[in-house]
Amino acid sequence: MKKGEYEAAKSQLQSIQQEMLIDAEYEKLLLARTKESLIQCELAMNDEYNSDQEMIELYLLYPQLIPHSGLSMPVYLQTNARSKEEKELIEKLKSYQLSFKNSGSGPVLKVNIVFGKKEKIPTITLSTSIGAQVLVSPFEFSYQNAHEAIRIMAYGMFNAGQDDKNLNTKTPQNKP
């Protein structure tokens, strides 16, 4: 890919993806990196390529890769932002490499952000889902400054950067 040989890279990546001996549960990172590279190849070869469905698949495989991938994630944002400060936080969050959608239909990561206060301390509760699958259960945090709040929101929606906060996350379960 670094040499611009996207067709050859795509062929090799598809071969890796279809390898029968790969243990999908054990090799999640390999499969996710392969998916990420396939998306990058397609985007480099085709300006009209819509990666939304593949980005959802990448999120389901390994969401922590997305903030550093350089790829744009389709996101539908639900928020109760009312104050000037809350609306500014949301606008700054939108500057991250996210592709905000006007509706939650189709393949899209739904992010719910609820602003609140506990004993006059500002709080944010964040959760993510795709369809009916809750992927990051609601978690609440307080913040001292806008930069901190935006960082926690941006990484929290991908279940990344919050190891010390012990987020309550769930692996998606297929429902009958």
Digit-by-digit pLDDT tens for the chain (176 residues) are: 777 777 777 777 777 777 756 777 778 888 899 999 999 999 999 888 888 889 999 999 999 998 888 888 888 999 999 999 999 999 999 887 777 777 655 668 899 999 999 998 999 999 999 888 899 999 999 998 999 999 999 889 988 865 544 444 444 444 44
Contact (Cβ atoms closer than 8 angstroms) between residue 59 and residue 109: yes
Please give the C-alpha separations between residue 151 and each of 28, 60, 96, in angstroms, as whole numbers: 25, 21, 10
Asked if residue 30 is part of any domain, the answer here is yes
Same domain, 77 and 151: yes
Q: What is the pLDDT of residue 165?
A: 47
**Are residues 57 and 15 part of one domain?**
yes
Domain tally, the chain: 2
Asked if 14 and 48 sit in the same domain, the reply is yes
- The answer on 116 and 51 residing in a single domain is no
Predicted structure pTM score: 0.76
Of 53, 68, 83, the domain-final residue: 68
Residue ranges in the chain assigned as alpha helix (H): 6-17, 28-45, 52-61, 84-93, 146-156
Domain extent for 154: 73-165
**Rounded CA separation 54/52 (Å):** 6
Question: What is the predicted pLDDT for the residue at 26?
Answer: 76
Residues 86, 153: one domain?
A: yes
Same domain, 82 and 153: yes
